[in-house]
């Protein structure tokens, strides 16, 4: 029997909104029989990365890009790039942003994916048949618009549905890739 896919979810979340998306991503991956480790970016280590078959990065959008704790995590992992230790693992991303299309959500997603691509990982985009795609879908990965200034406590159930569906899909793709299908 094939070993379960090991999925690492790393999340940078200052006020808990992206962390809620991360928990939904993790639940989705577990539903696809993956073993999931969920770590805050401040605590995630290079050993966590090398132990995983697939890595899913999530960040709150800060000043048009990713949060500083996610950037620090990426820079701590630079030695793994030198040794090619993450080549051939799968990678995916999600974000939450306050301001809809104006706020840099897409750029943050692309920054996360660019980092995974730099390590030689197989990127898993979000496709338009996944649940929640119409509300929180972007082909780079799920985006929750949290609108904190309007007093709305996003992510919404639809955002969480998208995160769950994407987590499940990434885990399924990782398992397929592992068995060479």
Ligand X SMILES: Cc1cc2nc3c(=O)[nH]c(=O)nc-3n(C[C@H](O)[C@H](O)[C@H](O)COP(=O)(O)O)c2cc1C
The stretch near ligand X (CB under 6 A) out of 12-20, 23-31, 72-80, 85-93 is 12-20
**Does residue 1 interact with ligand X by CB under 6 A?**
no
Q: Is 73 helix (H, G, I), strand (E, B) or coil?
A: helix
- Which residue number places its CB atom closest to ligand X? 103
Adjacent-strand bridge partners of 59? 12, 95
The stretch near ligand X (CB under 6 A) out of 15-23, 69-77, 111-119, 162-170 is 15-23
Residues numbered 113-172 forming contacts with ligand X, rule: CB under 6 A = 146, 148
Phi, psi of 89 (to 5 degrees): -80, 160
Cα gap 25→93, rounded to integer Å: 10
The sign of the CA dihedral 48, 49, 54, 56 is positive
Residues numbered 26-55 forming contacts with ligand X, rule: CB under 6 A = none
Cα gap 55→30, rounded to integer Å: 14
Which of 104, 132, 137, 167 binds ligand X (CB under 6 A)? It is: 104
**Does residue 101 interact with ligand X by CB under 6 A?**
no
Q: Under the rule (CB under 6 A), what is the footprint of ligand X? A: 13-19, 60-64, 96-99, 103-104, 146, 148
């Amino acid at each position: 029997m094939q070993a379960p896919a090991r999925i690492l979810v790393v999340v940078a979340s200052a006020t808990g909104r992206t962390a809620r998306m991360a928990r939904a991503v993790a639940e989705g991956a577990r539903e696809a029989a993956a073993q999931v480790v969920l770590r805050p970016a401040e605590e995630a280590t290079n050993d966590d990365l090398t132990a995983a078959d697939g890595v899913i990065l999530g960040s709150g959008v800060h000043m048009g890009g990713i949060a500083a704790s996610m950037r620090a995590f990426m820079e701590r992992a630079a030695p793994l790039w030198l040794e090619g230790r993450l080549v051939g693992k799968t990678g995916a991303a999600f974000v939450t942003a306050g301001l809809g299309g104006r706020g840099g959500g897409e750029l943050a997603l692309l920054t996360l994916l660019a980092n995974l691509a730099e390590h030689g990982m197989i990127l898993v985009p979000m496709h338009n048949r996944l649940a929640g795609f119409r509300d929180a879908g972007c082909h780079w990965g799920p985006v929750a618009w949290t609108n904190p200034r309007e007093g709305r406590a996003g992510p919404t159930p639809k955002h969480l549905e998208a995160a769950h569906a994407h987590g499940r899909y990434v885990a399924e793709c990782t398992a397929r890739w592992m068995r060479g299908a």
